[in-house]
Structure formats: C-alpha cells, structure tokens
Structure 1
Amino acid sequence: MNVFSPAWFLHLWRGIWTLSSDILHREGWREGLRATPAEQELMRRLAHRDPDAAAELVRGYADAVYRFIYHQVGGVAEDAEDLTQETFLAALQGAHRFRGDSRLRTWLFRIAAHKIADHWRSRRRRPPEVPLEAWHPATSTDTSPPAFLEETEIRERVRAALLRLPPHYRTALVLRYVEEMPVAEIAQVMERSPKSVESILLRAKAVFTQTFQEMDES
C-alpha cells in the first residue's frame, strides 16, 4: 500500500486518534515563530516519504488541529474529523513545500484554515444560523438544574455565538483564546500583519460579546 495514499492515512488516523495531553504541551510547543530543528528534521523525513515521520506528525498535532477545526464548524464532530484528515493528508503530500519560516503547528493551522474555508464554500454552504430560542429550554418547575447542564448550555451558546461571527473573527478568537497563540503567530496562520490581527481581535471580542448577550437576553 502506498503509505501516502488516503487509504493508508485513514488507517493511521483510526489507529492513533487518542492522544495524551503531554504530547501537545511538550517543550518548545509555544516558543518562537520559526520551525525548531526537530520540526525541520521531521518535515525533511516526511518529504522523503518516511512513514514513521507521518505517524509522528499525526500523533503530535492531530488533537490541536481537530480542536481548532471543531470550533470553526459548529462543533459537528464528523465534519471536524473529515477536515482534520484532509488537513493532514494535504500536509503529508505537501511536506516538500515546508520552508521552516513558521512553527510546524502554524503551518498546519494555515492549511486547516483553508480547508475550513473550502468546507463552507463547497455546496455553497454557510455556517448554520442557530435560532436563539434553541438555547432556552422549555419552562420547568425545577429552577435548579444540575451544574453540568448549565455548563453544557453555556458551551453550546458560545458555539452558537461563534458561528454567527464572520469567519475571520471566529478564526482569530479560536486561535487566541482556545489555542492561546500569540498575535504574531496568529498573523502567520491568517496571513495578515500583527497590527491587522490586533484590530480583528478587538472587533471580534466586541461583536462576540454583543452577540452572546443578545442570545442571553432574548
């Protein structure tokens, strides 16, 4: 089997989906804006079709890429999984184009951002509008719901509010507050200047806050 074929990648994906958090926060994960020597070496091996390098790439970054995509597609797990697979397949096939002028995760997130944009453009789709009333359960005599239900509702309402934002606002907020990326790295992912990203974040926070409050009050 061609180790860089979609079928091989799907086999790899299914075998190593469960990741431990220590992989995601290994030394150097958040330091610097250029590829580390280890990342450069990994991509060199990947460009030479080393299947062990492909497995290492997926094990090390799949969870973060999936999380980033998940928040961009309204928490639809199936879509997030499909787009994550597409992202890594594109990375495997395009490894020879990695120049090392950004961190490896930044490069992967940039690919993912393009896949997300393609996802919404395909079949002329737009992020679904979530009716405001969907976030207000039917009247109940129980005024003290379990805490986990309240937390779940808040998460769903946050997700609904994110979906109402323009795509570049949503991307900036997820990268900054979910992935905790510095502005300079977000600029690399979004292919914008740091000053532009700062402006986007300011506007995105204001719009998100207003949207969330309107949902809460309606």
Structure 2
Amino acid sequence: MRRRPPPEVGVAWLVGVARHKLADHWRRAEREQRGLRIVHGLPVEPEDPWDERLDAMIAQEVLAALGPHHRGALILRYLDGLPVPDVARLLGRTVHATEALLVRARKAFRENYERLEGRDV
C-alpha cells in the first residue's frame, strides 16, 4: 500500500483478508471459551472439537461461495466489526442501501450454510 499509486484492491485480496480475520476470530473465541471453562471448573477441551472445525469450514466455504458484493459487506460488517455507515462509505453506497445489502447477504449466507450443513461432509 506504500507504493504510489497504491495497488488496486481486488476480490482475491479481500478473500485473503477475510480468511485471516475469520481465523483470528475463531482463535479469539476459542481463547475466551477456554477461559470461561477454566473459571467455571468445566473441562478445558470442547466435547467434540471436530464439530467446531466442521462449522468453521462450512462457514468459510459459504463465505467464499457468496457473490463479491455480499461477501465484502459481510466481511466488513461482521469480521472487521465496522459499523454500517463505515461499510456504506467503503462500498460507495448509502447507509440505507447497505442495510438492505446486509439483509440480503445474511439471508444468502444462512440459506447456503444450512444447505451445506445438512449435506454429508
């Protein structure tokens, strides 16, 4: 990004950033859960760690299969944690249009996730 002019940000770059952000999120969530289990005197290991990994793999596959506009909006809003007005600004949309986009993106993600979750993995 220090080059002049800065390189163009493309879908591949966004997907790479999303992968890293998603991995960071899972690590952070696992550390938090581990700490809560320790505090409450519960077993430190989850009952079935493969369930968590399968869920993560399905979520990653679903995210990758979404269209770039849905994927980008979801990544910015939920993985990067940006408020809707910032997402709108980055996507060059109005706040209202971005909210509508997020509704459609969440619906597409949920439908695809449920479809993939139901298949034999």
Pairwise same-fold verdict (TM > 0.5): yes
AA aligned opposite 1:116: V
1:29-82 Cα deviation digits (max 9, x unpaired): xxxxxxxxxxxxxxxxxxxxxxxxxxxxxxxxxxxxxxxxxxxxxxxxxxxxxx
- Kindly state the Cα deviation for residue 115 of structure 1 after the two structures are TM-superposed: 2.5
When residues 189 and 117 of structure 1 are mapped into structure 2, their CA distance, relative to the original with a 3 A threshold, is farther
Is 2:64 aligned against 1:163?
yes
Give deviations 1:72-121, integer Å, cap 9, x for gaps.
xxxxxxxxxxxxxxxxxxx21248x9xxxxxxxxxxxxx77x2326899x
- Is the aligned partner of 1:189 residue 2:90? yes
Q: Residue in 1 aligned with 2:80?
A: 179
Cα deviation per residue 1:179-202 (whole Å; 9 max; x = unaligned)? 110011111221222111111100
Corresponding residue number in structure 1 for 2:10: 115
Once residues 2 and 55 of structure 2 are traced to their aligned partners in structure 1, the CA distance between those partners, rounded to angstroms, is 37
Residue 46 of structure 2 is aligned to residue 151 of structure 1: no
Higher relative contact order (CA 8 A, sep 6+): 2
CA RMSD of aligned residues (A): 2.8
Scaled by the length of structure 2, the TM-score of the pair is 0.62
SS at match of 1:93: coil
Contact 2:74/2:102, CA 8 A, preserved across alignment: yes
Distance 1:206 1:196, change over 3 A: same
The answer for unaligned runs of 5 or more in structure 2 is 16-45
Partner of 2:110: 209
Aligned length: 89
Distance (whole Å) between structure 2 residues aligned to residue 161 and residue 211 of structure 1? 6
Matched, 1:92 2:9: no
What is the TM-score with the length of structure 1 in the denominator? 0.36
1:100-111 residue pairs with structure 2 within 5 A? Answer: none
Distance 1:119 1:148, change over 3 A: closer
Please give the secondary structure, in 1, of the residue aligned with 2:93: coil
CA distance in 1, matches of 2:71, 2:63: 6
Q: Distance in 1 between matches of 2:69 and 2:4?
A: 24
SS of residue in 2 equivalent to 1:92:
coil
Is this contact kept in 1: 2:14–2:72, CA < 8 A? no
Q: In percent, how many aligned pairs have the same letter?
A: 25
Higher helix share: 2
Q: Which amino acid aligns with 1:170?
A: R
Contact 2:11 / 2:68 at 8 angstroms: preserved in 1? no
Kindly tell me: are residues 152 and 118 of structure 1, through their superposed partners in 2, closer, same or farther at Cα, counting changes over 3 Å? closer
Name the larger-Rg structure: 1
Structure 1 unaligned regions, length at least 5? 1-90, 98-110, 121-144
